[in-house]
Amino acid sequence: MTLALAGPMDWSPVRISLETSVTATLITLAIGLAAAAWRERRRGPAAAVVDGVFLLPLVLPPTVVGFLLLLLFGRNGPLGKFLLHFGANVVFSWPATVIAAAVVSFPLMYLTARAALEQVDSRFLEAARTLGASEWRVFREVALPLAWPGVLAGTILSFARALGEFGATLMLAGNIPGRTATIPIAIYFAVESDDMNRAFAWCAIDVIISLVLLAGLYHWTRAQGRARWMRR
């Protein structure tokens, strides 16, 4: 079957999606790890409230997340007004796509990183502390290497979530060809213009990228499992 497109294929959504997803994933990796490490040492009602705030983007509709981000980063929003003092306008720009993707993918990174850190045997951490290691060194040289398989899985899942983000991105960044038009947005507007072949082509590209990511994660986890079995 051949696809007859209504016009030449603009490949910029692929570039924008990949650049956005990589940048957002690096942000969520750093912030998610820090948040998970902080939360892992906290207990009580306040920590549960923080959990709820961190996980909100996971349960709220993406359009609601996008609207809340628009209130924050718009010209009349608190962060928007602050950034305007430096001549920066986030809304309807490429950084807006990164912010939207990072916010919606953050809960996946946070949950997997926290679960991985909780699985680390506390005896190793206590032994390092007994030997005089600082908390930062304990985290960097003991906890993180032991939790790294779970953290890497969360990183891949966060990247896939950022790649598929649509609602919050459309609300905050809009559809600007060559600047903010990601693959999901390109699919939506192709359907809106009744160009079903183009929409199908973009869907196929998105599915292929996602399958490659999931296949890589699957084979990596199997390889890690075999390596652990061989060490026993």
Read off the CATH number of the domain in which 147 is found. Answer: 1.10.3720.10
Q: Is residue 5 part of a domain?
A: no
Q: Is residue 101 part of a domain?
A: yes
Whole-angstrom distance, CA of residue 53 vs CA of residue 57:
8
Residues 6 or more apart in contact with residue 156 via CB below 8 angstroms: 213, 214, 216, 217
pTM: 0.85
- Between CA 79 and CA 59, with CA 68 as vertex, the angle to 5 degrees is 135
Q: Is residue 3 part of a domain?
A: no
pLDDT digits 0-9 by tens, 53-110: 899 999 999 999 999 999 999 888 888 888 888 888 888 999 999 999 999 999 999 9
Q: Is residue 7 part of a domain?
A: no
How many structural domains does the chain have?
Answer: 1
> Residue 108: how many CB atoms within 10 A of its CB?
24
**What pLDDT sits at residue 5?**
61
**What pLDDT sits at residue 101?**
95
Mean pLDDT by 10-residue block, N- to C-terminus, for the chain (232 residues)? 60 92 94 88 77 89 92 88 84 93 94 89 83 82 85 88 92 90 92 90 90 77 61 54
- Alpha carbon distances (Å) from 19 to 122, 171, 184, 210: 38, 19, 14, 15
Q: Is residue 145 part of a domain?
A: yes
Amino acid symbol at 145: P
Domain that residue 200 falls in? 12-43+50-225
DSSP string, the chain: -----SS----HHHHHHHHHHHHHHHHHHHHHHHHHHHHHT--SHHHHHHHHHHHHHHHS-HHHHHHHHHHHHSTTSHHHHHHHTTT---TTSHHHHHHHHHHHHHHHHHHHHHHHHHTS-HHHHHHHHHTT--HHHHIIIIIHHHHHHHHHHHHHHHHHHHHT--HHHHHHH---TTTT--HHHHHHHHHHTT-HHHHHHHHHHHHHHHHHHHHHHHHHHHHHHHHHHHH-
